[in-house]
Amino acid sequence: MKFDNKNVLVTGGNGMIGRQLVELLYDTTSANITVADLPNVDLRDRKDCKAVCEGQDIVFHLAGIKGSPQTAKNNPSRYFVPMLQFNTNMMEAAREEGVEWYLYTSSVGVYEQSEVLVEDDVWKTFPSENDTFPAWAKRMGELQARAYEIEYSWKNYSIVRPANVYGPYDNFGEHSMVIPSLIKKGYHDDVINVWGDGSPIRDFIYSKDVARGMLHMVQNEINVPVNLGSGRGIRISDIASIIGNYFGKEIEYEVTKPNGDMKRIMSTERAENYGFKPRTSFEEGIRKTIKWYEESVL
């Protein structure tokens, strides 16, 4: 897939991964890039989706709802309903407009609770109870692509499943994920409070590496689901220690709070077989994210 002089649409282009992808596209291609994001475009509206897809050659669909596991548990419709609308409307509009290639952003959440997450295992299982609503919304997008392939022989799509993504422009608000939450506490609080005992292990990947992986899969026209992760497990307590040491803050664990799934690491064998590996070490990525946050709050 060649990008030069093509019309490329990025939904969610103002988000954490989207900004990195747009920058990569500008740096490495001569594509004509359009960003579709709130408040100018409402992807819940099918007419808006059709309008932004008109005349586009390649579509990267990154738009989604980001928040904490607590939000997913207590306010599941905030995830489930708009994500179903985004995904269904955008893919249908792209197919109707005859785009050359479409990238769908799925999630690590589609997997069951398992220590190692392998692409072909998804449809043999159910998602973890900790990810039920956002996971099924993402799974439905993957299933929609398969339905189009069966009925319309529509094979011009890529599906990527990013691990736990972090980096500049992350959500550092009230319902943030673990890394931005700990960075925010490290900067503002006297003590870094951590939910649970810090023992869970997760796979984290820096946002620019996710963007690189997306671009790689589309350029190489890979149309099977591919994990975008590090393949390396990081303990939550180790993240807290890195951030605590940076800010010179003590760590306090709320052991009465739930840990969630204990260990979730992505298999990266398929991605590596297709020629993709992340470039940013976890330690480097954390430093870059903290530096960005410090500069953004000044």
Q: How confident is the model at residue 75 (pLDDT cuts 50, 70, 90)?
A: confident
Between 97 and 175, whose confidence is greater?
97
Global pTM reads: 0.94
The reported pLDDT for the residue numbered 138 is 96
For 132-149, what is the mean pLDDT?
95
The pLDDT tens digits for 46-67 are 999 999 999 999 999 999 887 6
**CATH architecture label of 7-169+204-230+263-280:** 3-Layer(aba) Sandwich (3.40)
Best CA proximity match to 222, nearest among 160, 153, 281? 160
> Per-residue b/e over 93-118, b at no fewer than 16 CB within 10 Å?
bbbebebbbbbbbbbbbbbbbeeebe
Structure confidence at residue 73 as a pLDDT band (50, 70, 90): confident
For the chain, which residues make up each domain, given as ranges?
A: 7-169+204-230+263-280
What is the mean pLDDT of the segment spanning 204-228? 98
Mean per-residue pLDDT, 214-226: 98
Residue 279 CB neighbours (<10 A)? 11
Q: Are 59 and 35 in contact (CB under 8 A)?
A: no
- pLDDT of 223 > 90? The answer is yes
Higher pLDDT, 173 or 101: 101
Stretch among 36-40, 100-104, 159-163 having the lowest mean pLDDT: 36-40
